[in-house]
Amino acid sequence: MGFSESRHLHLYMPAGMAFLAAITSVVYYHNIETSNFPKLLIALLFYWTLAFITKTIKFVKFCDNGVGFSQLRFCLTGLLVVLYGMLLAVEINVIRVRRYVFFKTPKEVKPPEDLQDLGVRFLQPFVNLLSKGTYWWMNTFIKTAHKKPIDLKTIGKLPIAMRALTNYIRLNEAFEAQKNKRPSSPQGSGSIWRALCCAFGRPLLLSSTFRILADLLGFAGPLCISGIVHNVGKGNNTIRPQVLSVLALAGKGLTFPTVAHVVLCFALVARTFIAFILYQ
């Protein structure tokens, strides 16, 4: 668990493989959902627990050796701790709420009415986070579009939750609740805004958060270019050459292909956040 002052690429491969393993585990979790076999959650719970513990120990060791945010290994390990911690927390919460695995009487979950309707093929509100970001659920439409033009019959009906009438009913119920709660207050624009916040406050908050995160990720490209210009143009020698740091990633060390991969990754995440805005 010691800290090795080296910039060899193979020392950073475990962190990259850990990210791939996390994505693979999410896909595995998706298969558990579709197969409706919750006993398989035991393996996932065991893996995420061990991964979170080992990455946390490694992160603590980095802190003990005085490794800071300027080191790429420190940042990658910290991101992995956060990622595996979130996955583990979600897994424990699902087991607790649904009473899976360790409970003798699991909670019966009734599928949404839209999923029981064979005419509904727009599955965006019901798929997992990874499928929402990559639109993986649209593979059927894409395969059909290669054979013939898509018509309204192929698209099917919209889910009930995404129809304009459903949103109108929610807003009307919130507005009537405001009137009953404050019958003496004047009904103006303020009451409309309160009804909107009451009916759609959570989706609006999530959409605003995703919009801000997507805009912040848009600075990744200019920051990388700024780092390249600063370190290459001025010949900055303050970076320790034997250790791969975040600044070295932008100026020297892994050169332009790695920077391009980082910018592409941030662009993909930003595009995913923008996609979430449309369906909140």
**SS3 letters across 189-235:** HHHHHHHHHHHHHHHHHHHHHHHHHHHHHCCHHHHHHHHHHHHHHCC
pLDDT of residue 270: 72
Which residues of the chain have a pLDDT value below 50? 1-3, 238-243, 247, 250-254
Distance CA 44, CA 26 (A): 9
Average predicted confidence (pLDDT) for the chain: 74
User: What pLDDT sits at residue 2?
Assistant: 47
- On the 0-12 / 13-18 / 19+ scale of CB atoms within 10 A, 102 is exposed
Query: Are 73 and 59 a contacting pair, CB within 8 Å?
Result: no
Bridge-partner residues for 245, per DSSP?
71
Total Cβ atoms within 10 A of residue 46: 10
Length of the chain: 280
| CA atoms within 13 A of residue 199's CA, in its CB half-sphere | 20
Contact, 220 vs 263, CB < 8 A? yes
pLDDT of res. 241: 47
d(CA 1, CA 60): 10
Assess contact for 273 and 210: CB atoms under 8 A: yes
Q: What is the pLDDT of residue 1?
A: 44
Strand-pairing partners, residue 13, are none
**Count of other CB atoms within 10 angstroms of residue 256:** 10
- Is-contact 279 124, C-beta < 8 A? yes
* pLDDT score for 239: 47
Which element (helix H / strand E) includes 262?
Answer: helix 255-278
Q: How far apart are CA 249 and CA 226, in angstroms?
A: 12
The model's pTM is 0.54
Nearest in space to 29 (alpha carbons), one of 133, 130, 121: 130
- Token look-up 């909670």 returns 107
On whether the CB atoms of residues 168 and 156 are closer than 8 A, the answer is no
Q: What is the pLDDT of residue 84?
A: 87
User: What pLDDT sits at residue 259?
Assistant: 64
Residue 6, pLDDT score: 53
**What pLDDT shows up at residue 73?**
76
What CA–CA distance (Å, rounded) separates 36 from 272?
27
